[in-house]
Amino acid sequence: MEVLSAKEAAALIQSGQTISVSGNGEMLLPDEVLQQLEQRYLETEQPDQLTLVYNVIPGAQRSGTGIDRFAHKGMVKRMYAGSYYTLKVDRLNTLIAENEVEAYLVPYGALYNMVRAAAAHQPGILTAVGLHTMVDPRMAQNKLTPRTTEELATVQVIDGQEFLFCKALPSDVAIIRATTADEDGNLSLEHEPNSIGILHQAMAAKNNGGIVIAQVSQLAERGSIHPKTVTVPAIFVDYVVLVPEQMKNMPYNPAWTGDIRLPVKQLAPAPLDYKKVIARRAAMELEPGALVNFGFGVSAGVPQIAAEEGIAEQVIFNVEHGPVGGIPNNKEAFGAGVNMMAVMDAHAIFDFYDAGRLDMTCLGMAQIASDGSINVSKVNGKYNLGGFIDIVHATKKIVFCGSFTAGQLHVAIENQAICIIHEGRHKKFVRELAHLTFNGREALKKGQEVYYVTERAVFTLTDKGVTLIEIAPGVELERDILQQMEYRPHIAEELTYMDKRIFSPEKIGLDEAERFAGKQSRRYAR
C-alpha cells in the first residue's frame, strides 16, 4: 500500500477505464479524489471516455460534488447507476437529456450483485427482479439515451420460469472511502454509518487486474485495527489518500454508527401537515413484529409516527443501505439510523428482499395508472430508481405514499378535516405512465396487498384496478378526487371516511390498538 495525495491518485486513472465510486450522499464519499479527477479533466481533458459505476448517489447534499464531478461532455462515455438525480445532484441528467452519454438505470440490488459477480469472475447474475417493468429488455426503458444500444440484460427461461440475466460489471479502478487505514492498507469504517458494498467494489477492481484507491481520515500503526473491524482487507487496497477533514460536511455521529443509543421517546412530534397525515395513515397498516422497509420522502415519516405513538420497538424498521431495527433517519442522513440492532451490508439486505422476507414497505409514487401500476423512475425528465424495483418485487404488503397532486399543492388541516387551498398543477393519477416501475397486474398475480395513501383519499388494488376505499373529512368526492384524476377509479361499495384522529394534533392511539396493546417490545423473531 502506498500513500498518495489526491492529485497523485487522480493521475493514475487512464482514459477509457471503468471507474467504480462509493458513497451515499456525504457518507463514504471520496470527494477529495473526485475533485482532483475533475480538476485534471478540466485542465487537460484527460482522462476521457470513462465508464462510471455507482449505486447510491455520492454527493447528493452538495451541488457539483460526488458523481456530478463526472458531468462534463466527453469525460464519461457510459454510466451504470440506480439514480441520476436526487436533492442537489442533477448535472448528469443534463448529459442524458442531450444524448451525450450511454446511460443505464439499474435497480440497486441488481447493481450490487452485478459488481459482486465481477469480483468472483462470474459472467453475471440471474434474477426475477425487474421482469415486466422498465428494466425488462422487452420494454427497454432503462436505456436512457438513443446512443445507449447495447443490451444490459436478456430474458432466460429455467425450469419454465423467466429470469433476467444481467452481465457482471468489472472495473479498472475503485475509488472508495473509509475512516482508518493501517500501514498495510487494511480499512475500517468506525465513523461511517454503513458499508454499502465497498468490499465488493474493491474486489471487482482488484480481482480483475485493476487498482483500488481509498480515501481515509486517518492512518494507524500496522496491526492496530482489530481484524473483526476490517471492512476491506489490505490485499484489496493499492493506494491510500489521507484527508483528515473528509467528514466536515457530515461529521461523525455516534448514534448513527451504533456507538450510543438515543432516547427516542423524547423526539419532538412532527408538525401536523399533509405529509404527517399520509405517514399516519400508512402507519396504521403496521403490525407487531413486522419487518418494514420505507423509502425516501413522505414515506420516510412513518418511523417518526411509530416513535410518537410508542410502537417503534414493536416494529422492525429497515432501509436497504444497512440499518436493521431502530429508527431510520430521514432527509440528508437517509440510509443511516439510530438504535439499530444490526447494520448489514446493502448487498445482503437485497438478498432477503428478493426472497420475499419483507412484510411491508412504504414507498413514494409519482404517477399511478388505472391498473395500479406506478412510475417513480422518470419524473420531469429526470431519472431516479434506487432500490424501488427490488423492494416491491416480493414484499407482502406495499403502501405507496404521496400527495394526491403535485406542484405547489397547498393543503390546510382544520377542525379534523382537509381543506385544499390550492390544487397541485400536475395530476398523479394518469392514463399513461412515463415509466413502468411497478407492475400492478403482476402484483395481483403474486397476491401482494397494495395501498395508495394520499392526504385526501386511500385506494387499494383489486381485480378492478385502482379502487377508492376511503376519503378524508372535508373532501368532496367529485371535485377534489374524481376531477383530479385522468381516469375514473372503481369505488368501493362501502366507501368510508379516513379516521378523524389522523387529522388531529393529538396522538392517534396506535399503542392502544388491539394488535399492539399489551405486546412486548422487540418481537424480532418471526
Catalytic residues: 320
How far is 120 from 113, CA to CA, in rounded Å?
Answer: 10
How far is 123 from 100, CA to CA, in rounded Å?
Answer: 28
How far is 184 from 138, CA to CA, in rounded Å?
Answer: 48
Element (H, E) at 389: helix 388-392
C-beta atoms surrounding 183 within 10 Å: 15
Element (H, E) at 222: none
Among the listed residues 450, 2, 384, the one whose alpha carbon sits nearest the alpha carbon of residue 183 = 2
How far is 451 from 325, CA to CA, in rounded Å?
Answer: 24
Cell 388494488 appears where?
461
How far is 325 from 327, CA to CA, in rounded Å?
Answer: 7
Element (H, E) at 8: helix 6-10
Q: At what angle do helices 198-206 and 108-119 cross, to 10 degrees?
A: 40
For 483-523, what is the HEC assignment?
HHCCCCCEEEEEEEECCHHHHCCCCCCHHHCCCCCCCCCCC
How far is 97 from 269, CA to CA, in rounded Å?
Answer: 41
Q: How many Cα neighbours within 13 Å face the side chain of 379?
A: 22
How far is 302 from 287, CA to CA, in rounded Å?
Answer: 13
- Report yes or no: 288 and 315 within 8 Å, Cβ to Cβ: yes
Residue 42 CA, chain-centre distance (Å), reads: 31
Cell 378524508 appears where?
472
| DSSP SS3 for 411 | strand
Q: Are strands 342-343 and 382-383 parallel, antiparallel or unpaired?
A: unpaired
Ranges of beta strands (E only) in 91-168 are 102-105, 124-127, 153-158, 161-167
C-beta atoms surrounding 122 within 10 Å: 12
